[in-house]
Amino acid sequence: MLSKMAQGVGKPEKSPRPERIRVPNRERVLLTVDGHKFVGILQRLSLTGGSVIHTEQPFPNATLARLDLRTVFGKVTAQIELLHTRADGITAAQAFRFLSMDSTCTTRLKTAIEKMRIAGFSDVEEERAFAKLFSECLSTLRGHMDRAGILGVLRKKVRDKT
């Protein structure tokens, strides 16, 4: 423990963000806030929270709610905290985090997320595809610049400055 603390002096240790899933098929959830029920569409989901587009005006940050979600593995019920709006770059989406759920619901949620991950709905896969495309674009650009002789001119300018 001490060695871990010594390594992180002045630098808080950041845990990796849980894998997020793009929820397919406009999955509906039931949100209950202060006894009022309303429907939302789940956008993103992870083991720690997600984002939802709901039919009400955005709730203030830290509003407590109950979330009911039907999965192919059974119903998941959890206490959540609604967070900021504009989640995932969507104006109407509101982020949330899970506060508590029982062990049965936790197992159902984990299993559902794993099934969606295997089906290719993970943001990690999307990021990898974007990184691969970006890398290919850079390689193509470099090839064009090299053929045009631009890279040689740039290298010479860098050498002349040093």
Q: What is the CATH number of the domain that holds 42?
A: 2.40.10.220
Instruction: Based on the fold, state whether residues 30 and 109 are members of the same structural domain.
Output: yes
Does residue 22 sit in helix, strand or coil?
strand
110 lies in some domain: yes
7 lies in some domain: no
Instruction: Provide the pLDDT for residue 54.
Output: 87
CA-to-CA distance for 45 and 90, rounded, in angstroms? 15
- Token pair recorded at residue 16: 């990796």
State the DSSP code for 61: T
Instruction: Based on the fold, state whether residues 134 and 146 are members of the same structural domain.
Output: yes
Instruction: Based on the fold, state whether residues 137 and 63 are members of the same structural domain.
Output: no
End-to-end CA distance of the chain: 46
Instruction: Report the number of distinct structural domains present in the chain.
Output: 2
Looking at residues 153-158, what average pLDDT do you find?
A: 68
Domain extent at residue 155 = 124-161
Instruction: Based on the fold, state whether residues 143 and 156 are members of the same structural domain.
Output: yes
pTM, 2 dp: 0.65
Instruction: Provide the pLDDT for residue 7.
Output: 44
- Per-residue confidence band for 134, with pLDDT thresholds at 50, 70 and 90: low
Q: In the chain, which ranges are E strands?
A: 21-22, 28-33, 36-45, 49-54, 63-71, 74-85, 93-100
Q: Are 141 and 73 in contact (CB under 8 A)?
A: no
